[in-house]
Amino acid sequence: MLADGVYDIPAGKIADIVTSLEMWARPPLRPEVADAPWTLTQLPAPTAEAYLALYGAVGRDWLWFSRFEMAPEALAAATGDPQVEVYRLEAPGGEVGLLELDFREPETCELVYFGVSAGLIGGGAARWLMNRAIERAWAKPIRRFWVHTCTLDAQGATAFYMRSGFQPFLRQVEILDDPRLTGVLPLSSAPHAPVIRPA
């Protein structure tokens, strides 16, 4: 348990606040764009190359990096498990989205990764994709649907999840090596989170 106060984060590290949210019943779907131009395709057992290209296109600016650090066989096991569903949203103009649902815990679905590339933010694609996520999650015999987000994600992410029917239940502090300094991500990633190099 951390005592109240302000704590220095060592140079070369990043810190964020992680919020976990959950829902225990299927909520009403939110209104979405009529005649939506987006398509959603499931990627059963995607190749590492295809998966990481999609993961990077959606998450690089929010410092998504853990999948880049995984060994190929571990990544294949995570994304190719029959109880894990990976979907690619495609939009006119080449913009994309990622939806990943994990049903490996009994009666539970984790929304592991969710997001759209920069050109789709604010245009209704995320709401459309969330509606598809809710439909697919609650089509299975689950009792709980949950997700976690953090302060490195898009500014409105937590509020978006709450509008979608999730309720927060846990807050955590996360400190880890800055992936831009370890070479996992380009230095240009996530300009909203400044790089602080060790002396």
Residue 79's CB is within 10 A of a number of other CB atoms, namely 26
Contact 83, 102 (CB under 8 A): yes
- List Cβ<8 Å contacts ≥24 apart for 115-123: 115/58, 115/59, 115/62, 115/153, 115/154, 116/58, 116/89, 117/57, 117/58, 118/61, 119/91, 119/93, 119/95, 120/89, 120/91, 120/95, 121/154, 123/33
**What integer best gives the mean pLDDT of the chain?**
96
Interhelix angle 48-59/72-80, rounded to 10 degrees, is 80
Cα–Cα distance, 176 to 9 (Å, whole number): 10
102 DSSP β-pair partners? 84, 110
For the chain, domain boundaries: 13-24+37-177
Beta strands in the chain (DSSP E): 13-23, 39-42, 84-90, 96-102, 108-116, 144-150, 167-177
177 DSSP β-pair partners? 13
Tell me the per-residue pLDDT of 101-155, one tens digit each, with 9 for 90 and over.
999 999 999 999 999 999 999 999 999 999 999 999 999 999 999 999 999 998 8
Tell me the per-residue pLDDT of 21-32, one tens digit each, with 9 for 90 and over.
999 999 999 999
Tell me the per-residue pLDDT of 10-66, one tens digit each, with 9 for 90 and over.
999 999 999 999 999 999 999 999 999 999 999 998 999 999 999 999 999 999 999
pTM of the model: 0.95
Tokens describing residue 141: 């015999």
**Superfamily grouping for domain 13-24+37-177:** Gcn5-related N-acetyltransferase (GNAT) (3.40.630.30)
